[in-house]
Amino acid sequence: MPKTVQTCPSCDLPHVTKWAGASCLPCWKKDREYDLSKADLAFIEMQEAYVTASQGAKSGPSRASENHLKVQVKLLQQKVADRERTIATLRSEAAVLRRSSSGAQTFDQVLIRTLLTLCHPDKHYNSETATEATKKLLAMRKKK
Ligand SMILES: [Zn+2]
């Protein structure tokens, strides 16, 4: 078996070995209660640095996905700009409608008062139609 990077079963850190399931050299020494040399400690530091570096490489975006993300950001920015234009259009339309509907309401109130005097049941021999129309007009007047 050629040498490959494997995970040490004792410390979970990577090391290069040709033996499957073998402990790394510092762990092998610890098992036999050998003193760890400065080189062993440096080796452990390298193992830890390797793990940190490979984790960073995994979580960080690759070149391809970075470009993909840039395209996505551009598309989303365009969508946002589109939505903002739509919002601005709707806002001005809403303002126009608010102005015109408030005008219509005051007109309606005047018209309702006029219609109320015109169709009062007293003036129509208490006809059912006049009573109904008056009721509806009164309801409309209350709303405002
Ligand atoms: Zn180990």
What does the DSSP assignment read for 66-80? HHHHHHHHHHHHHHH
Residue 103's pLDDT band, with cuts at 50, 70 and 90, is low
pLDDT of residue 68: 86
Say which residue, 48 or 1, is predicted with more confidence: 48
DSSP, collapsed to helix, strand or coil, labels residue 13 as: coil
pLDDT of residue 61: 64
Nearest alpha-carbon partner for 5 in 71, 67, 53, 76 = 53
| Torsion (CA) 71, 73, 79, 82 in degrees, nearest 10 | -100
pLDDT in tens, 13-67: 999 999 999 999 999 999 999 999 999 999 999 999 998 888 877 666 677 778 8
- The mean pLDDT value for 75-80 works out to 95
Domain ranges of the chain: 4-59, 63-143
Q: Structure pTM?
A: 0.41
DSSP, collapsed to helix, strand or coil, labels residue 85 as: helix
CA of 100 from ligand 1 middle (Å) equals 80
The identity of residue 130, as a single letter, is A
CA of 127 from ligand 1 middle (Å) equals 102
CA of 29 from ligand 1 middle (Å) equals 9
CA of 43 from ligand 1 middle (Å) equals 10
